[in-house]
Structure 1
């Protein structure tokens, strides 16, 4: 399977049954397996401030501590996505998401178990020019246009409890659907 046929289906990917399929650690792992690939995720977990736009979404200041889960996501040996998740400290501590292996269903399942169930997800997709680091990582030219998906998970009370900035490599297919009622 090449990266040109990775389908990121936002309609289904965050549903509990999909995230927890088999012993999956989250939506990415489930998607890659479903497409016949071999998922691997290298995760670095640390505490730190969030970038300005992320802090604004979370309703915190840039100097407030978050738990940052910086991930390099692979299909086999091919890097196919970079993703950085930012979780407010109180949510991260309650949900235990500082463990690099978040367990079955990933951090969204851990948050739900801790009382921070995400009931709404908003994703914004933009194009941006690849940096030197991203160009080298994905094998593209500097300034090549790549996609960035900013995922925000909200609780029923309207609190943003997770912002993940996904930077997929070239060739991804983004699939969305919306109810028409």
Structure 2
């Protein structure tokens, strides 16, 4: 996806539980722009998380997390790698820890488990050079720059519940909201 076909995205649909039969947020967003969005689940596993994930989730140095790794496609072309990390005390024994599609997506399942995401998660955007494994997955040449969007989400009760790290080849636009002072 080049910068000339970018659109204004909104994180809110990705934080809202889906109704039965409703399309996932990415498919719905792509369809609204006359495109086809899909995703492929690459892995579901327990791992030692990156330090930023460990710090946000407030877990100890030997605790592991569940990660769901996905390849995001636009018109069948890879545009993003998305890794979503969950504390094991939330994910173990649920579909989050199982390989397979989750009806309504992870946010719908989390909400059903009592972890409704807050409305305004912290999002960190940085630039990086694509790694060799990312080159292969995203069909990029070595040295290609990518955007890395990390979304830190807590529940409405204040419990850290998810960290999503999205490595993107596409243009990203944001609209800022003014907060009352």
- What is the TM-score with the length of structure 1 in the denominator? 0.83
Gaps of 5+ in 2: none
Measured on the aligned residues, the alpha-carbon RMSD in Å equals 2.4
Structure 1 position 162 matched with structure 2 position 162: yes
1:62–1:80 Cα change, 3 Å: farther
1:131-172 CA-to-partner distances (Å, cap 9, x unmatched) read: 223234434442332110001111123221000000011x32
Write the distance in 1 (CA, Å) between the matches of 2:20 and 2:114. Answer: 22
Q: Does 1:153 align with 2:153?
A: yes
- Measured after TM superposition, the shift of residue 92 of structure 1 is 1.3
In the alignment, is the contact (CA less than 8 A) between 2:127 and 2:148 conserved in 1?
yes
Q: Does 1:34 align with 2:29?
A: no
Q: Count residues with an aligned counterpart.
A: 176
Shift in alpha-carbon separation, 1:51–1:69, aligned structure 2, 3 A? same
Write the mapping of 1:72-87 to structure 2, written as runs, cut at 5 A: 72-87=71-86
How far apart are the structure 2 equivalents of 1:20 and 1:152?
A: 24
Name 2:121's counterpart in structure 1.
121
Would the aligned equivalents of 2:26 and 2:38 in 1 still touch at CA under 8 Å?
Answer: no
CA contact 1:6–1:172 (8 Å) conserved in 2: yes
CA distance in 2, matches of 1:20, 1:174: 27
Equivalent position of 2:95 in the other structure: 96
Report runs of 4+ in structure 1 exceeding 6 Å deviation: none
Q: Deviations over 1:73-114 (max 9, x none)?
A: 11132001101010011211365323421112x111111111
Tell me which residue corresponds to 2:130.
130
Aligned-partner SS, 2:27: helix
- Any conservation in 1 of the 2:124–2:149 contact (CA below 8 Å)? yes
CA distance in 1, matches of 2:27, 2:19: 10
Distance 2:175 2:113 in 1: 28
Q: Which TM-score applies when normalising by structure 2?
A: 0.83
